[in-house]
Structure 1
Amino acid sequence: MNDADLIAACLRGDPRAQRQLYNQFAGLMLTVCRRYLKRQEDAEEALLLGFAKVFRALPTFRQEGSFEGWVRRIMVNEALMELRRREPLHLSFEEFAQPENLAATPATADMQLQADELLALLQELPIGYRTVFNLYALEGYSHLEIAETLGITEGTSKSQLSKARAMLQRRLVLSTAAR
């Protein structure tokens, strides 16, 4: 069943189609939620709340662009809402901008990490860095969109992204060296 047929069946209230939609996207969307939320339970909560919103908002999907992208945007927004409920979103982490916390060694192409290792490295980032990095690098938001979404300036978004990249780069080097 393609996305259009699946959506149509869900709109008719077909429980099998609803289950199929959930099963089709749940794994990927849980990964999206986990990138923002440290605790598995919080990510699962965001996932369930996000799917509730997906099913409620399904009549508004205009079939313009990717259905997966539409679902992803709902999940990102839900993860951000859960993040705000769980952890205050402070985007000024000057203590992490110290030279010893920034990358000193350029990353190399041969750094091979498993997805769970990358997720662990992302989870180690301060919440502000992690959130901006995820929105920009993984979700494709612009700095303007990030600024509007998080209530910060574009400059703060750019600064947080730069610091996140530097910290990730340093930790990748350290992680690879430890192997």
Structure 2
Amino acid sequence: MTEEVLLHGCLHNDPLAQKELYQRYSHKMLSVCYRFAHNREDAEDMLQEGFIKVFSQIHTFRFQGAFEGWIRRIMVHTCINHLKRNKKFNESVDIIHASGVQTREESIPSIVQAKQVIECIRMLPIGYRTVLNLYALEGYSHKEIAAVLDIEESTSRSQYTRARQMLEEILIRKKILQKPHDKVSLLAAFGR
């Protein structure tokens, strides 16, 4: 089924088209949700809530830009709203731990698979993880992050800096990052 036929079917509440759309995009979108979630159950809840929004708002898609990107934006906003609603974004952040990390150029060996890095990102406190995901992986600016999360832009910047530092420490501790001279930009590894 072509994307156009799929969209037309979903606009007319065709259950087969809706099922196809879900099957086509749910795996990728679960990965997006998983990066924000505390656990798999939360990620699955976010995914279901996100797809309800996709189906109820599909009439707003204007065929400008990629449909997958449109779905992804809905998923990201659903995740953020889920975290806010459950007050998980406001959980305390271990600043003492992060402040002890020396500032270094963000890096990972080029041989590291994205899955390993994502698992390390999930070890970050929720505030750090959310800002890192939005900035480094979703491409939001600090100004956009501040608006979405209802925080100051400077808070977004400091959370991102601390997240990078803590992530590097985790990567070193897990022996994923081993050789300082074998560095590759973390942002480049995620396409940003």
After TM superposition, the score normalised by the length of structure 1 is 0.89
Q: Residues 75-110 of structure 1: CA distance to partner in whole angstroms, max 9, x if unpaired? A: 1111112222334323873223322x4566863534
1:3 CA displacement: 2.0
Unaligned runs of 5+ in 2: 179-192
Q: Hey, what does 2:162 align to over in structure 1?
A: 163
CA distance in 2, matches of 1:106, 1:51: 34
After TM superposition, the score normalised by the length of structure 2 is 0.83
Q: Hey, what does 1:131 align to over in structure 2?
A: 130
CA distance in 2, matches of 1:106, 1:150: 24
Q: Residues 92-145 of structure 1: CA distance to partner in whole angstroms, max 9, x if unpaired? A: 73223322x456686353451451x32321111011110000001111111111
Q: How does 1:96-135 map to 2 (within 5 A)?
A: 96-99=97-100, 101-102=101-102, 107-113=107-113, 115=115, 117-135=116-134
1:167 CA displacement: 1.1
Inter-CA distance 160–120: structure 2 relative to 1 (3 Å threshold): same
Retained in 1: the 8 A contact 2:46–2:79?
yes
Identical aligned pairs, as a percentage?
42
Q: Residues 48-87 of structure 1: CA distance to partner in whole angstroms, max 9, x if unpaired? A: 0110000000011111111111100111111112222334
Inter-CA distance 15–26: structure 2 relative to 1 (3 Å threshold): same
Q: Which has the higher helix share?
A: 1
CA distance in 2, matches of 1:91, 1:39: 15
Q: Do residues 2 (structure 1) and 2 (structure 2) align? A: yes
Retained in 1: the 8 A contact 2:108–2:177?
no
Inter-CA distance 106–81: structure 2 relative to 1 (3 Å threshold): closer
Retained in 1: the 8 A contact 2:99–2:162?
no
1:177 CA displacement: 6.0
Q: Which amino acid aligns with 2:96?
A: E
CA distance in 2, matches of 1:24, 1:51: 12
Q: Cα RMSD (Å) of the superposition? A: 2.2
Unaligned runs of 5+ in 1: none
Q: Hey, what does 1:14 align to over in structure 2?
A: 14
CA distance in 1, matches of 2:39, 2:113: 21
Inter-CA distance 177–14: structure 2 relative to 1 (3 Å threshold): closer
Q: Hey, what does 1:60 align to over in structure 2?
A: 60
Retained in 1: the 8 A contact 2:34–2:43?
yes
CA distance in 2, matches of 1:143, 1:124: 22
Aligned with 1:124: secondary structure?
coil
Retained in 1: the 8 A contact 2:89–2:127?
yes
1:153 CA displacement: 1.1
1:154 CA displacement: 1.1
1:175 CA displacement: 1.4
1:19 CA displacement: 0.5
Retained in 2: the 8 A contact 1:103–1:167?
no
What number of residue pairs does the alignment pair up?
A: 177
